């Protein structure tokens, strides 16, 4: 009797720890939570470092005894960074520019992906491979020829140097966007398009009224990806469109802009690491807001686009 009770207790403990098929046990869940917390910490550490140090004063930064919690919150750092970056004007201009190129590149990528998915034409596979190769090749390889072309067109150092390639399907990471749409449009039954053709619909009408509404998940993914990449891009944007077009570009010239606004020797306005970190936080803050607001729609859209090759 005692032996049976002991054996039953062991089985109950084993079931709690390892579950019926291991994945529903406490031990498995503990491992998963440890891994998730570890990876989260790795990704969040730089952000937490920036946030805490951006609220420190000069004395806290040079004090080895102060690591994560400032002795006093120096919100002046954000006020100075806000003034130097001219956030209100810069944010509006950056957002307007990024929205333009993101909408254009999403639309042209959808059309190109639809064309590759629906039509058969000579050298289709070759052109598709060449299109993918543009994503593999580093932009530095084609930068010289691209700048020569833009200079001959007379659009260098203007927004047009970034807008025109986006409109023509050659924007930043266009190949991966086209691939996303291509994978999705391949999953749409051909019978839908054939039925519309029988009813007299043109190819563009089929694309506009049937394919695009079904491709909403892909549109969300591509638009968010392009928005973030164009927002964060500094190398190509600085070379092609100018050094003060976006907020991230202003970070590159933050020191000189700060010293012009607050000359060395200005009381209480000495440039330090905390002010620079505050400026970085202001630049990435809009992207954090977009993530927190749209993370559910974003993850659901990724699941429905077939990006994983499903």
Look at residue 253 and give its three-state secondary structure: coil
pLDDT at 59: 83
The burial of 295, by beta-carbon neighbours within 10 Å (0-12 exposed, 13-18 middle, 19 or more buried), is given as: exposed
d(CA 254, CA 11) in angstroms, rounded, equals 64
- 16 pLDDT band, cuts 50/70/90, is low
d(CA 242, CA 153) in angstroms, rounded, equals 16
Q: Determine the number of helices (DSSP H) and then strands (DSSP E) in the chain.
A: 17, 0
The pLDDT tens digits of the residues spanning 270-283 come to 778 888 999 999 99
The pLDDT tens digits of the residues spanning 83-105 come to 999 888 889 999 999 999 999 99
| Comma-separated ranges of CATH 1.10.3720.10 domains in the chain | 86-252
Q: Looking at residues 75-84, what average pLDDT do you find?
A: 90
CATH number 1.10.3720.10 is the correct assignment for the domain at 86-252: yes
| Mean pLDDT estimate for the chain | 83
The pLDDT tens digits of the residues spanning 275-307 come to 899 999 999 988 888 888 777 766 666 666 555
pLDDT at 29: 80
pLDDT at 298: 67
Instruction: Compare 262 and 175 and report the one with higher pLDDT.
Output: 175
pLDDT at 119: 87
d(CA 186, CA 183) in angstroms, rounded, equals 5
Task: Report the predicted TM-score, pTM, of the whole model to 2 decimal places.
Answer: 0.80
pLDDT at 308: 45
């Amino acid at each position: 009797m005692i032996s049976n009770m002991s054996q039953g207790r062991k089985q109950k403990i084993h079931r709690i720890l390892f579950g019926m098929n291991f994945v529903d046990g406490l031990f498995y869940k503990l491992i998963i939570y440890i891994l998730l917390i570890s990876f989260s910490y790795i990704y969040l550490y730089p952000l937490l470092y920036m946030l805490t140090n951006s609220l420190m004063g000069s004395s806290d930064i040079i004090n080895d005894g102060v690591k994560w919690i400032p002795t006093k919150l120096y919100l002046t750092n954000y006020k100075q960074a806000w003034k130097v970056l001219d956030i209100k004007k810069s944010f509006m201009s950056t957002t307007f520019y990024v929205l333009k190129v993101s909408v254009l590149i999403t639309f042209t990528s959808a059309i190109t992906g639809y064309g590759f998915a629906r039509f058969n034409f000579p050298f289709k596979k070759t052109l598709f491979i060449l299109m993918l190769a543009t994503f593999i090749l580093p932009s530095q390889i084609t930068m010289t020829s691209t700048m020569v072309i833009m200079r001959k067109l007379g659009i260098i150092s203007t927004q047009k140097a970034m807008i025109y390639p986006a409109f023509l399907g050659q924007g930043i990471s266009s190949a991966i966007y086209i691939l996303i749409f291509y994978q999705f449009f391949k999953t749409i039954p051909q019978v839908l398009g054939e039925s519309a053709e029988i009813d007299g619909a043109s190819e563009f009408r089929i694309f506009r009224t049937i394919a695009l509404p079904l491709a909403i998940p892909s549109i969300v993914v591509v638009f968010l990806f392009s928005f973030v990449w164009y927002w964060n891009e500094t190398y190509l944007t600085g070379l092609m469109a100018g050094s003060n077009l976006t907020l991230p570009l202003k970070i590159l010239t933050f020191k000189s802009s700060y010293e012009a606004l607050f000359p060395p020797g200005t009381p209480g306005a000495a440039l330090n690491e905390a002010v620079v970190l505050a400026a970085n936080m202001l630049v990435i803050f809009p992207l954090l807001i977009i993530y927190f607001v749209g993370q559910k729609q974003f993850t659901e859209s990724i699941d429905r686009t077939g990006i994983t090759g499903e």
